[in-house]
Amino acid sequence: MPVLPKSRRRQAFTLIELLVVIAIIAVLISLLLPAVQAAREAARRAQCVNNLKQIGLALHNFENSNNFFPPSAIKSTGNQPSMNINVDSAGNPLPKGRDRVSMYMFAFLLPYMEQTPLYNAFNMKRDVRDPINSTVIASQINTLLCPSSPSGDKYHVYSATDSWTKQTYTNVRFAVSDYAVNNGVEDGLIAAGFIPPGDYLSMLFNTHSASFDFKTRIAEVTDGLSNTFMVSENAGRPTYYLANGRVAPVQKYSEGIAGGWADYATGYTTHGFTLDGSASPGPCHTSCNNNNETYAFHVGGSNHVFGDGSVRFVKTTTSIRIFAQLISRANGEVISSDSY
């Protein structure tokens, strides 16, 4: 009698087993994804710190060469004899007209930031908005971009007539910066009682007055270099952001939103906002509104390079009074490092 072959059992997952495997994989992914994202943000934050260190080093190299720190910006109304800007060969102020220029600090820091080719292509005797400088100011500089800031259009297009020189500039394309100088605080913060009266002039204040040749020597930072901001984060521009990384429902242009690394209007002052970023003044100094305010896409605070060249993280929970004290260069405060 012939022996019948044994029936072969098909090896496969049952539906229930397959669902269990899928569920396990989903759980593992949900556990790993936050860790991967956290690691990526840690790397981005480290790069942001390194960018600010490079900016701080450039500022100190400038100081070593010139014996003073530069102003954050020079406006067409301002004279800067110490840097041979908006003055003639004898050091006298130039009359109103095309020869007067505006520019932001990064323009004259270029040779100290390994951007000598850009600096050599820059015509410092013409306004940054002049067509002769169009290629230079539209060049993105990675050192000036925080990796945590959302990607997208990193350019701001500008059209306006300079009220001082009467020059009209049309469709000027600026590459933006996620870093800028916090020039001081708005009077509204003092009037509302959020900070006490005082002199909150920053270390790298801008030159805007015809009689004001602003520069800072180390000895003039009497609050201490390690207690004074030089450059801070104001990320996300030219997009207008409110609190928690929310894009504002209405995108509006203002000088504070501009953000061009060569544009005079890139600097800002602290206004203080409500926690949702909708109104000013208020107790929030960081990441509630990026229109003329410190703003970062790091969790819990923002990076700042201090006068001594160190980069430190200042928490959003820091009192706005302490934050204002870190802006001022000679207001007589004594600040503990554990207060921020």
- Quick check: 314 and 335 in contact, CB under 8 A? no
pLDDT at 1 over 60: no
Q: pLDDT grade, residue 55 (50/70/90)?
A: very high
Where are the strands (E) in the chain, listed by range? 73-74, 103-104, 155-161, 168-175, 179-180, 182-185, 229-233, 268-270, 301-306, 311-315
pLDDT at 135 over 90: yes
Output the pLDDT for position 151: 77
- Structure confidence by residue, pLDDT tens digits, 108-120: 999 999 999 999 9
Q: Residue 236 burial by CB count (10 A; 0-12/13-18/19+): exposed, middle or buried? A: buried
**Cα atoms in the Cβ-side hemisphere of radius 13 Å centred on 306:** 17
- Structure confidence by residue, pLDDT tens digits, 202-231: 999 888 776 678 889 999 999 999 999 999
Q: pLDDT grade, residue 337 (50/70/90)?
A: confident
Output the pLDDT for position 18: 75
pLDDT at 276 over 80: yes
